[in-house]
Amino acid sequence: MQIKKITIFGGYGKSGEKDKVEQVTFKMGQVVSIVGPTGSGKTTFIEDIELYANENTPSMRKVLINDTAATEDFSSNPSDHPIALITQHTNFLSDMQVKKFLMTHASIRGSSSIETIVEETLDFANQLTGEAIDVNSAMTELSGGQTRALLIADAVIIGNSPIILLDEIENAGINRTRALELLKRYEKIFIFVTHDPRIALLSDLRIIMKNGAMQKILVTDDEERRVVEEIKKMDDFLLELRTHIRDGEKLTEQHVENRLRDLGYLS
Amino acid sequence: MKTVICAGTSTSGKTAVLKQVIKKLIAKDYRLAFLKIDVQYAEEDELFKQEFGIPTKKVYSGELCPDHCNVMVLGDAIEWAAREKAQFLLVETAGLCLRCSPYIEGSLGIVVVEATSGMNLPRKIGPMLSLADIAVVTKIDLVSQAEREVFRSRILEAAPNINIAESDALHGIGLNPLVKKIIESPDLQFPLFLRGNPPVGTCTICVGKKEIGWKQHFGVVRPLENQLFYRGE
Ligand SMILES: Nc1ncnc2c1ncn2[C@@H]1O[C@H](COP(=O)(O)OP(=O)(O)OP(=O)(O)O)[C@@H](O)[C@H]1O
Ligand SMILES: Nc1nc2c(ncn2[C@@H]2O[C@H](COP(=O)(O)OP(=O)(O)O)[C@@H](O)[C@H]2O)c(=O)[nH]1
Ligand SMILES: [Mg+2]
Ligand SMILES: [Mg+2]
Ligand SMILES: [Zn+2]
């Protein structure tokens, strides 16, 4: 199925009040962020999408893919499911070897050159992790960051899902800047649940949640696109300091001051 | 009357699934009865009676294989459910014995398997899976899409014609197709027969002889490196 768009019809928030946004459509190629305070229903919202909700979840929201609602029968095969969700706590539970698992998944998906696609997947994942994944280790032996990286790579490449939902990727222990760069090379609908200003402002639009309900939609405008450049600078600076510390170096006042001057924050 | 036999290993989510099914059937004004069979402890009957006010019963199998016990008591249970004017009798098995799998010919057999159980479970549970009409996969909220797909293919490998419903049984998500199948299932046709052949289990262990090693026993026995054979009269 060629996915062109996905539409969500509002339902109800936590205390039964209506979603203020009655309807929202995401088109192929768009990047969307879901923002809001802790407990505001961000995860619930993307779970509705993942479940292809049809007024059958607690929020009573309804999702249309290319204007079509979900049908409920046994024919629904998850391989045909166009949506992949990577949650805050999705883990691999199978103790199959990484390589064997990926090959099995690729063959279920009917991939023509299994070896190549598995390699591409591992390569994608390894660009997001600190230490490369050992293909002979069991899936359950991967670290948290490696697990998340592999989940994303599998969904994008082997699963080839046209709609990808990522819940708080910034807390996943992976290189999120690299992740954003890599993901943008693929033509998909990406929906990020995020507390990260950089991800939120790099999106085409964002939905603001509160008390379990959609409050409003903000489209990223030119001014915000300029602001994001500044955020990137600050963010990269923090990442640089983090790498410094990770590599076992000491931080000096002089170093920080010099770098702030380089960046134009000190004269 | 229609009967649904719900099998599955312990903690797979049988009770969680049946609870959602009962909720959905009651919402459609059907009259139900529920039977739980377990070895020595169960409280599903009280939970369901309290929450839904439906007639419930439980049976402890004690010394008997719980699935064999099921076969023994089911005839009476169906008469009881009929006296209660139930349209559906839902039976939750103990889920210990993976061989007897007491599904009834001509009525619905459901096996509940948890997506969190590891990829080899579908290869291990034999007739409990291959003789069922529907496999309900629970706990999909806890695993990745990739693992769901591999798990599903393992189920289909063991039971190529089975229907699969993937669900988050805690929230009742993904169970509507199951409810529809239950409603559409055929009425019981008497006399009732077990689906498949239960395994031969007649040996002196069955009657309480406790010595270890086949040489101490009579009846259907097996050495480590050999097939089953009959020893004795
Ligand atoms: N529309 C809704 N209807 C009913 N319950 C809801 C709704 N939205 C959220 N909830 C409930 O509110 C709780 C918090 O929601 P959720 O986990 O989605 O928040 P979150 O924004 O993802 O929080 P965090 O930032 O901490 O991850 C959950 O128990 C969820 O079931
Ligand atoms: N997260 C999650 N938990 C589940 C699901 N189904 C069942 N459980 C939990 O798994 C445990 C065992 O379920 P239960 O129905 O009692 O299993 P039974 O022994 O087969 O009857 C309980 O704690 C349930 O709440 C599910 O779909 N998702
Ligand atoms: Mg959340
Ligand atoms: Mg139970
Ligand atoms: Zn038995």
Give me the sheet containing B56-60, strands edge to edge: B56-60, B32-38, B88-92, B2-7, B108-114, B134-138, B163-166
Would the CB atoms of A72 and B146 count as touching at under 8 Å? no
What is the distance in A from the centroid of ligand 3 to the CA of A258? 38
DSSP A154: I
List of chain A residues whose C-beta atoms are within 8 Å of the C-beta of residue B118: 93-95
Band of residue B201 on the pLDDT scale cut at 50, 70, 90: low
Does any ligand 2 atom lie closer than 6 A to the CB of residue B138?
Answer: yes
The strand pair at B56-60 and B32-38 is best described as parallel
pLDDT of residue B195: 87
Cβ atoms of B100 and B131 within 8 Å: the answer is no
Give the per-residue pLDDT at B154: 94
Torsion sign (Cα): B198, B200, B202, B206: negative
Q: How many residues are recorded in chain B?
A: 233
| CA–CA separation, B155 and B57 (whole Å) | 32
CB neighbour burial string for B75-113, b if at least 16 within 10 angstroms, e if fewer: eebbebbeebebbbbbbbbbbebbebbbbbeebbbbbbb
CB contact under 8 A, A95 and B118: yes
Asked whether this complex has an ipTM greater than 0.95, the answer is: no
Atom 7, ligand 2: which residue's CA is nearest? B13
pLDDT value of position A37: 96
Nearest bound ligand to CA A45? Answer: 1
**Which regions of chain A are under pLDDT 70?**
73-76, 78
Read off the pLDDT of residues B84-143 as tens digits, 9 standing for 90 and up.
999 999 999 987 777 667 899 989 999 999 999 888 899 988 889 999 999 999 998 888
| Whole-prediction pTM | 0.84
Q: Is A6 helix (H, G, I), strand (E, B) or coil?
A: strand
Question: Which residues are CB-contacts of A238 (< 8 A; sequence separation ≥ 6)?
Answer: none
CA B145 to chain centre: 26
CA angle A41, A42, A46 (to 5 degrees): 115
Q: Is B137 exposed, middle or buried (0-12, 13-18, 19+ CB in 10 A)?
A: buried
The answer to whether B174 and B168 are in contact (CB under 8 A) is: yes
Determine the topology of domain A5-222 in CATH: Rossmann fold (3.40.50)
User: Token pair for residue A18?
Assistant: 């209506």
Spans of all domains in chain A: 5-222, 223-267
Burial of A167 (0-12, 13-18, 19+ CB in 10 A): buried
Percentage of chain B surpassing pLDDT 90?
54
The answer to whether A161 contacts chain B (CB < 8 Å) is yes
B48-75 pLDDT, tens digit per residue, is 999 999 999 999 887 777 777 788 888 8
Domains observed in chain B: 2-184 (3.40.50.300), 203-233 (no CATH)
Chain A residue with minimum CA distance to B174: A72
Whether the CB-CB separation of A31 and A24 falls below 8 Å is answered with no
